[in-house]
Homo-oligomer: A and B are copies of this chain.
Amino acid sequence: MLFASLLKQLVRVGTVEVIDADGRTHQASGAPGTTVTLRLHDRKLHRRLFWTPRLAVGEAYMDGTLTIERGTLYDFIDLVAINEELGGAPPLMRVVDGFSWLWRRLAQSNDPRRARHNAAHHYDLSGRLYELFLDSDRQYSCAYFEGERDDLERAQLRKKQHIARKLLLAPGQRILDIGSGWGGLALTLAASADVDVLGITLSTEQQAAATRRAEAAGLAHRVRFELRDYRDLGGTFDRIVSVGMFEHVGLPNYGRFFEQIRTLLKPDGIALLHSIGRADGPGITNPWLRKYIFPGGYSPALSEVMPAVEAARLFVTDIEILRLHYARTLAAWRARFNANRVAIAELYDERFCRMWEFYLIGSEIAFRRQGHMVWQMQMAREVGVVPLTRDYVYERDDAALDVVSTASAA
């Protein structure tokens, strides 16, 4: 079976056993390590898993035509990642990756119509789903864990506080939040720093939910959410923040994106961009993730972002790298997801649950082992608008965390 030959090339540590659709067992084994047994329930997989493993493994798992007999899905994906780390992907997988690379610019063109469609694909899913695996504020991005004891709820509060500090807010400022999600960050900033916030999103679900929250919190006079593309925006802002949206911008649009940030930012303004990236250089979006989870999505390396920042004459003033924070965030999401799995299966179906499970596990391992990280980039147009040292980010005030907490998204 072709798939077994691929595994034999890959496995240097641990054991992957495959029981094929004809009931025959194939084994790929290396140095002592985890053992995982897969069972294939469809003979078509014997070739498909060989030719397009990065797409087909996820699809077969979703469809239930690939099941795990021994070990867990986490064990399996982790074992593949460990072996890729050790020896690199087998030559064939690299050929396929190389080929996909040619398509990535095309796949990320993300013109405004496509961008709306892509956003709807993911963020217009039922609000109830997000409620069942995110924190109470529906922060759908990397949390910030101060220590071992922080739970997801607290770490998401800290993330918002951390970002607020980096924005150096002052009362009366006008803030733009690009990709405002369910409004948690915008509401937090308005409530804690007495600023006006315009949040923009391409998801009708998110815009409606966020607007309801602003009203419920009595903040509708300070915080507005609009269904808008960042390219369509005018005016100027004291601060611009964007968390977990840049992944959807697409490589061909980086120049345009940063030009727009500069145009919208007042001369003494500060911008903070928070995005998933790759520490190991330019790569490709996993084709399964692109097809099922984030069409048009891409995690850029800093080498791909910096030229556009510099060309837009934005001065980078700080870059923080968060890495295991996102692995912990994803693990916490998965724990909540699993605890609510029955409810989520009722909302969608088992196939959807397996898809989401594959997504959360694959992403967690990408942060633990595959060079994925989050970068927070602070930018300004002028020298001296940011303090001399980064001390202002680290002045401890844990009491503020409790004040900062706003009405839950539920």
Tell me the A residues contacting B by CB distance below 8 Å.
Answer: 144-147, 279-282, 301-303, 306-307, 309-311, 313, 315-321, 323-325, 368-369, 371, 373, 383-384, 388-391, 393-394
Number of copies: 2
Residue of B nearest to A281 (CB): B310
Residue of B303, B318, B324 touching A383 (CB-CB under 8 A): B324
Bound together, the chains give a CA A174 to CA B384 distance in angstroms of 38
- Would you call B320 and A388 a contact (CB within 8 A)? no
- Would you call B145 and A323 a contact (CB within 8 A)? no
Interface of A, secondary structure class, is: mixed
Chain B residues whose CB sits within 8 angstroms of the CB of A388 once the complex forms: 145-147, 324-325
- Would you call A321 and B310 a contact (CB within 8 A)? no
Chain B residues whose CB sits within 8 angstroms of the CB of A144 once the complex forms: 389
Residue from A144, A313, A315 with most neighbouring chain B CB atoms (10 Å): A315
Residue of B nearest to A146 (CB): B389
- Would you call B315 and A306 a contact (CB within 8 A)? no
The 3 A-B pairs of least Cβ separation, nearest first, read A281-B310, A303-B306, A394-B394
Residue from A280, A311, A389 with most neighbouring chain B CB atoms (10 Å): A389
Shortest CB-to-CB span from A276 to chain B, Å, is 15
Q: A324-B383, A324-B384, A369-B383 are in contact. Are A310 and B303 (CB under 8 A)?
A: yes
Chain B residues whose CB sits within 8 angstroms of the CB of A306 once the complex forms: 301-303, 306
Shortest CB-to-CB span from A317 to chain B, Å, is 5
- Would you call A368 and B383 a contact (CB within 8 A)? yes
23 A-B interface contacts by CB (under 8 A):
A145-B389, A146-B388, A146-B391, A279-B316, A280-B310, A280-B313, A281-B307, A281-B310, A301-B306, A301-B310, A302-B302, A302-B306, A303-B307, A303-B309, A306-B306, A316-B321, A318-B319, A318-B320, A320-B390, A324-B388, A369-B383, A390-B390, A390-B393
Chain B residues whose CB sits within 8 angstroms of the CB of A317 once the complex forms: 321, 323
Shortest CB-to-CB span from A187 to chain B, Å, is 25
- Would you call B316 and A318 a contact (CB within 8 A)? no
Apart from A145-B389, A280-B315, A316-B321: 11 A-B pairs, beta carbons within 8 A:
A146-B391, A303-B307, A315-B321, A315-B323, A318-B319, A323-B384, A324-B383, A325-B388, A390-B394, A393-B394, A394-B394
Residue of B145, B321, B371, B391 touching A318 (CB-CB under 8 A): B321
Residue of B nearest to A312 (CB): B281
Chain B residues whose CB sits within 8 angstroms of the CB of A369 once the complex forms: 383
- Would you call B394 and A391 a contact (CB within 8 A)? yes
Residue of B nearest to A145 (CB): B388
Chain B residues whose CB sits within 8 angstroms of the CB of A279 once the complex forms: 310, 315-316
Chain B residues whose CB sits within 8 angstroms of the CB of A302 once the complex forms: 302, 306, 310, 316
